[in-house]
Structures are given as C-alpha cells and as structure tokens.
Structure 1
Amino acid sequence: MPRVRQPRSARGVYGISVASELTGIDPQTLRLYERRGLLTPARSPGGTRRYSDDDVDRLHQISEHVAQGVNLAGIAQILHLQRRNSELESDNSELKSENARLRSEQPAT
C-alpha cells in the first residue's frame, strides 16, 4: 500500500533535544505536554519522538499561553477549540463552493 505523503511542515524531523532547543522548553516538559495530549509528535520505527515544524509552532503557542498564566487543561481546551474552528471554517468554505457550483449549473428562468 502506498504511503500518503504528508506536507513538509507536518513531517517529524526533529529529535526531542532539537525541539527543546528550538522552543526553549525542557525535554521533560515536552514529554509532559505529550502525556497531557497537547501534542502528539511522530515516532520513528524505534519509538523516538520526531517533532515537525507544525509541532514546534504549536509548542510556541503553548509557551505563549503558559506565559499568560493559562493552565494545561485550559490550553488543551483552547487548542481544541482552535482546531474545531479551523475545521468549521474549512467546511463552510467547501459548502459555499458547492453552493456556487450548483447555482451556476441551474438553468436560467
């Protein structure tokens, strides 16, 4: 079965030490964020965490929320709502495109 190619930004390429260096977040804290479900880095065949550019962006976002005093449960909720909002915006765009297509196919009256 052919592998689905992920966008470059979603491919896990950084080990935990590099992700830590890029974000300024201690590796233990990165592990905690994973346990709390704030992000899920890819894993190598040997089980090593591999962080993507998207993961690094998410970690910067998490750091901003922590700096503002938001607890991890609150951050999880914020991230969930942001993801859901993006999904709804995408669905809305698809529906608008489909609606426009259907209107253009209707015969003029």
Structure 2
Amino acid sequence: MGRAAEMLGVTPAFLRSLDATKLIVPQRSPGGHRRYSRYQLRLAQRARDLVDQGTPLEAACRIIILEDQLAEAQRINAQLQRERQHT
C-alpha cells in the first residue's frame, strides 16, 4: 500500500478510504498486504483528481462508478450496433 500511495501522491489513509467506500477492493497477499491492479490505481488517481478539485470523496467515488458504467454501456451498445449491421 505504501508504494501505491507514493506512486499516486496520496496517503495510505486515502487508499484505505477508497477501500472503505468499495470503489476499489484490492487483492491481498498471503501476508495480508493490499495489492492494487493497474486499473485500480487508475481509479484511485481519478478519485484523487476529483477530490483535489473539491469534490467530496463519496461523490467522487459515485462519479467514477457512473463513468465506468457509462463506458461499459457505450461499449455494449457499439458492439450491438456492429452485430446489427452484419445481419
């Protein structure tokens, strides 16, 4: 966790708060250390950016979740459009 926090320029407490809000739930090593994926680190960076702009943490997490859901819906829609054009 310390290395991830250092990479993002945040405190370990900030990363724990993202875990508490369920925005990111890191894997655990056999020793119990948190391990973050690149995707989770990108989400944490986005949360940090929003918080730095004055967005409350809970709102930042909700924004990120909604952005992620929208991107997935757009991806599915594009796929369905392609499939529809080929029929």
Unaligned runs of 5+ in 1: 1-15, 103-109
Select which of 17, 25, 28 maps to 2:13.
28
For 2:58 and 2:43, the matched residues in 1 are separated by: 15
* Aligned length, in residue pairs: 87
- How far has the Cα of 1:46 moved from its partner? 3.7
Q: Which runs of 4+ in 1 moved over 6 A?
A: none
Q: Which runs of 5+ in 2 are unaligned?
A: none
Cα contact 2:5–2:11 (8 A) shared by 1: yes
- Hey, what's the Cα distance between the residues in 2 that align with 1:80 and 1:59? 12
What is the distance in 1 between the residues matched to 2:23 and 2:81?
32
Given the two structures, how large is their TM-score scaled by the length of structure 1? Answer: 0.73
1:97 and 1:34 mapped to 2: Cα distance? 37
Letter in 2 for 1:97: R
What's the % identity of the aligned pairs? 31
Q: Aligned-pair distance for 1:68?
A: 0.8
Residue number in structure 1 paired with 2:47: 62
Is 1:87 matched with 2:51? no
Three-state SS of the structure 1 residue aligned to 2:86 is helix
- What is the RMSD of the two structures over their aligned residues, measured on CA atoms? 1.3
TM-score normalised to structure 2 length:
0.89
In our comparison, the structure showing a higher alpha carbon Rg is 1
The CA deviation at 1:35 is: 0.5
